[in-house]
Amino acid sequence: MTSARQQRADQRRQDILAAALEVFATKGYHAAGIADIAQLLGIGHGTCYRYFASKRAIFDALIAETTAQLADVMRGEPPTTDSLAAYREQLFRIAGGMFSLFAADPRRGRILLFETPAVDPELQQRFHVAMGSLARLTRAYLDNGQAKGFLRENDSEIAARAINAVILEGIREICFSEDPNAMARRWIEQGVPLMLLGLAR
């Protein structure tokens, strides 16, 4: 395939994903169909099948995009801070990055948090595993702080899940807010200090 043809194919694939994002966020996964995506783009539904094998394949690609964006937020933020002040600033960056990501496009949060667990048992299990991985990552930050003495000793597994619950609730609020950016700012300003209460010595 020539470079120009590849670029057109890549653009068409992105167009399909963009339309699917709108359709899934508006109608929900089970009520949406390939025909809805094609209609939004003004193309035949057969064109969608040239790029994706099924509706589920399109949905999986959207989830992969969103999780990659979340990974970008975490990249460069290792659990190695040496003080409470440094950890606090890191927490502001991580939570702020996540909240800002979903404020920029609330549809992604609605799909990730509400559609993904309801698609089928296999995807529900993948979602559960992903939440467990996020909890282990958060726990690494807490274990680092406890080992270095700037966070008090506690059950870091439960504390990690509690912190993640605050972040997930913030994302939920942002995704359904009439003003997602304003809601994100509120959660960044108030949510991070709340996450630290009870952790500092």
How many alpha carbons lie under 13 Å from residue 160 in its C-beta half-sphere?
Answer: 20
Q: Given this model, what pLDDT does residue 115 score? A: 93
Superfamily of the domain at 56-196: Tetracycline Repressor, domain 2 (1.10.357.10)
- CA 156 to CA 136: how far, in whole Å? 9
Is the separation of the CB atoms in 58 and 48 below 8 Å?
yes
Domain 1-52 has CATH 2.60.40.10: no
Provide the 10 A C-beta neighbour count for residue 109. 25
Q: What would the pLDDT profile of 146-165 be if each residue is shown by its tens digit?
A: 999 999 888 999 999 998 99
Confidence of residue 9 (pLDDT cuts 50, 70, 90): confident
Which residue in the block uniquely carries the two structure tokens 């995009």?
65
Q: What would the pLDDT profile of 52-100 be if each residue is shown by its tens digit?
A: 999 999 999 999 999 889 888 888 899 999 999 999 999 999 999 999 9
Residue ranges of domains in the chain: 1-52, 56-196
What does DSSP assign to residue 118? G
Percent of the chain with pLDDT over 70: 97
